[in-house]
Structure 1
């Protein structure tokens, strides 16, 4: 769990912010003075991800707590009830991430969202493309402050190579005027491979042309910034674009993931199975499809309630993920039915593979409300890739029906 240090001498604000952060899934260390903050930083520095700091404290009326946190290498956000341009400039010159005025309840929401954003940023790689070393280093430094993993390139051609060689780049910030390949050409080349919802591209330029932003957007950019820019605007634009990527990712996950078990759903299974089936049809790999149906599952719901049934389904899903290989596909097809596509599984190992899955399900013990639930499963298997995916599923379904008819808790396939 991510740990946040909150320093504020107001017991009320410290309590409210701590409660809000904890309800959002964060662990909080509270301190009411510089002395307490120093103790926390010296004894628990390895736990602390970032700090939220009240600017004015009784034992540090000039914002000394900021210097203390930064001296320990802790990413910091300052909040205060007093705002002035001079104070803002002084605080931001100390390499804090942001400056928040706690003038109404919305500031708490902003702080919580900011912590979420910074935590998420740690998993994102950002690429800065600019032939001017000073400008490139400045933007790279700002992104590092915001916890991104930063990669640099001095022109468009170098940037494309970085994108090809590095996984996980979700953000590209590109200047317009560059040698070898300018910003417009870079973006057009990026869009040949990566869509707007896969990699966000923000154009930047100091040319001041009123039409430049439109040209960037038409070339495939998600956004545009004129140089020089305020660092707050820079961060807000970046956060907005990353938020959109995150929202699209969440929608995709919701569309392809079974809400109850967290494993792929039927739709995702068909999308991911097609290239594996194509390889099998070309003779590049052997393949098998198994339909798994839990026996007498209705009795669990009837005897113990649907909550018990849901827990049992989730347990079976996690068991299948653990027992199947990384190259296999595991999905919930609906109700108490699961499907496993075993890729590159030799025919002589098919029997033992699915028999092992059946045995593991039979060995499963699920504790619920003082009761120990047991399960068994019937499995129908097809290994004939010439039938295509639909044909294999139909054959597996027929074999599953056979397994049920022959007494359940067994594996059947066409010999």
Structure 2
């Protein structure tokens, strides 16, 4: 297949992944302010889309991790071809859509990494992967970031309730935090743009380097930044409603003070990680924050069974997407016909999933967001309502009839 054609196909597929990332993850930032009434749904989604667009321009450190860190370089350049990147993207998108349909907790980011790693191993061997970078900038942050965000959210929630307890007659309300959520959720959307949009920038840059159209180690080109920013913003605005609807239902127990603490912890963790080039999963960080904020609220406990289900979903994503990417890479080795088969089968699977999702009702059976699940992982103890004492009938001293 002509080199220019395969590069165009990879870029188009990468931008489609960026779009799916937008409706799969980004709307999480605005679910709690919608649920608490701080923002109207359309305004919230529009704000999230705009802030993702802005956030994508703030840093390129994560993009450099993907374009020049995960895949090793050989004498002839990076040890991966555009065909293998195409196969890796197929793996990431297919797994992303499957988990979205089935409601399995997953990470778009880890689906991308898994797909690329699986395809690279099949096409170029284990030597194509820099496992030191994978461990230090992907796996360790995935383990530590949710815990860190959860601890920050726990402390922030404790402080919020302690500071406002004597001034607020409604301990569970803290209505002032409802408007503070506008700021904190906006910060999460901005942070998401600085981290997740860059992953697609890194994939496109890696493709250009592999095709010999860009020198390894150079900065991300401006048109790559612009197109990736627009793609993730469009995905947020056009496809986020299903996730927001589920999230709004799943997080009904989260009060404004908790929401503010969780969102602030999420944004702080992601922004700090983006600065040093850690490729995080926004949903994992947000889930840790929600659980931490729930524990910080008096009278709540963790449903460890649900939390364990979330953890298993996270662990499955990298190897499962890697397996799909590896299978697509094996087919891609057939040459032009292999690329065509990958493209056709991938399109049929993605279209089939989308059509099936449109036919089925939006409910916990087919669309469960990771953060919605984490909301259910925290159980709130409710005080039983006092029983009303039956009034004694006034019989004037006479026995009742």
TM range (shorter): under 0.3
More strand by share: 1
**Higher RCO structure, 1 or 2 (CA under 8 Å, sep 6+):** 2
TM-score after normalising by structure 1 = 0.20
Q: Which has the larger radius of gyration?
A: 1
More helix by share: 2
TM-score after normalising by structure 2 = 0.21
